[in-house]
Copies of this chain bind each other. A is one copy, B any other.
Amino acid sequence: MEIYRFAQEIILDAGEFIRNRMIEDFNIDSKLNANDLVTDVDKETEQFLFDKIEERYPQHRILGEEGAGADIEDADGVLWIIDPIDGTLNFVHQLENFAVSIGIYIDGKPYAGLILDVMKNDLYHAAFEQGAYKNDEVLHDIEESSLKSSLISTNANWLVREGINAPFIQVVKDARSVRSLGSAALEFVNVVRGTSSAALFFRLHPWDFAGGIILLNEVGGITTTLLGDEVRLLKTNSILAANKTIHGELTEYFRDDDSFIKNHKAFHKL
């Protein structure tokens, strides 16, 4: 559990680093400056985490959104998968609702997942088969629910993209209501907290889901592709993160749509 505790320390440090950088440089009235700042802070935060991990665990490998480990092709050994700022548009436009996400895998098996809501400084963390926490508070198993009585999360982009949108449209019609937060990591967190019953994405990168999958597993949820297949850790995937009941219900919408299946396969090079 030493690596897990170390991960908790450095993700909290990364959050403080980001908040300080925002105070230093941020002209709150200018979205243009914010665009530049997020690029800088994204890279600096990845480097900040990279340096800390490399100093402590020189043998570990790191795959990051900003380019670290771009040559990694297998999951051997200890692999850190990091998104220094998940929800960059929220960072730019809202100054909130963005996260640092870390997933740690050992020989491809889940070890620990951590997501920090940076502005609230709330840390969601879980080690495999050890339960999930919000800061020091244990998170309980999520409730089962059906689509018609559930809030779910997805992005409007998928509803307007021809070739794949038919099942998304039917899901929206059948759901109780739909929310879009704009940070995949925090949409995972909402499923983990039970404030959303499912989160649906047509495309996520490893750093978008690596931490969330482990967290959700610890509260009784499940993550697969939209078709119900196992997520490939080092590739882009469609993602369905949900309680098990609604998960089963939702995969049927996508499995029953030949056009979706064909385009999903082509897009993700399956």
Contact = CB atoms under 8 A, between A and B. Distances in A.
Contacts of A196: 93-94
A182 B182 contact: no
Counting every copy of the chain, the complex holds 2
A173 B160 contact: yes
Contacts of A180: 156, 178-180
Nearest to A94: B195
Interface stretch (A39-47, A68-76, A143-151): A143-151
Chain A: number of interface residues, binned into ranges: 20 to 34
A265 to B, nearest CB: 24
Contact of A156 (B95, B96, B149, B178): B178
Interface in A158-172: 159-160, 169, 172
A91 to B, nearest CB: 11
A190 B196 CA distance: 21
B176 A156 contact: no
B178 A145 contact: no
Interface of A: 29, 31, 89-90, 93-96, 140, 143, 145, 149-151, 154-157, 159-160, 169, 172-173, 176-182, 190, 195-197
B29 A151 contact: no
A232 B96 CA distance: 34
30 contacts: A31-B143, A31-B145, A89-B151, A89-B176, A89-B177, A90-B151, A93-B150, A93-B151, A93-B195, A93-B196, A93-B197, A94-B151, A94-B196, A154-B156, A156-B156, A156-B159, A156-B178, A157-B172, A157-B177, A157-B178, A159-B159, A159-B160, A159-B172, A160-B172, A160-B173, A177-B182, A178-B180, A179-B180, A179-B182, A180-B180
